[in-house]
Amino acid sequence: MTATDPALTALANGWAALYLLAGRIEAQIERTLQAEHDLSVREYSLLDVLSRQHDGAGGHLQMKQVSDAMVLSQSATTRLVTRLEDRGLLSRYLCATDRRGIYTDVTAPGLALLQAARPTNEAALREALDEAAKNPELAPLVATVEEMNMSRRLPEPAATR
């Protein structure tokens, strides 16, 4: 393949469209969450990830796992956790079975903020997708996102006997 190969050009164009769609969505959600809840997209996402932890086996995430879930470096994740901890939205504690492990939990005020911000996040996402769907280059990507969402909502087929 050469640099002017049509397959490479199509691949690069597809990546550029995906990057543009993600950037537009993130910017829309960021503006809305900041204005209505004083939260960034990353802060909201961290609260959301951590709120899904549970007390069962493997239910709590260590900082490395949080970094992976957030697609951030460990140092960026630590700064983000510290920022939310300083606001009283998160708390950290040592793992009872491995003193090297540090866990992070969402506090009651953090859960309340997340609960209040969740409909805002969803509405901003919906608005951003609706706007992007008007762009012919982005419409196929929006349709794919919509299809993914629909496939998760459909009930499982009844088992045949």
- The reported pTM is 0.84
The predicted structure's pLDDT at residue 70: 94
Q: Rounded mean pLDDT of 135-141?
A: 94
Reported as a single tens digit per residue, the pLDDT across 17-63 is 999 999 999 999 999 999 999 999 999 999 999 999 987 777 888 88
Q: Rounded mean pLDDT of 118-146?
A: 96
45: Cβ contacts below 8 Å, ≥ 6 apart: 70
Reported as a single tens digit per residue, the pLDDT across 99-116 is 777 889 999 999 999 999
91: Cβ contacts below 8 Å, ≥ 6 apart: 85, 104, 105, 107
Reported as a single tens digit per residue, the pLDDT across 65-111 is 999 999 999 999 999 999 999 999 999 988 777 777 788 999 999 99
- Nearest-angstrom CA–CA distance, 67 and 86: 19
Which of residues 120 and 158 earns the better pLDDT score? 120
161 — pLDDT class (breaks 50, 70, 90): very low
Residue ranges and CATH numbers for the domains of the chain are 21-132 (1.10.10.10)
- Nearest-angstrom CA–CA distance, 78 and 63: 8
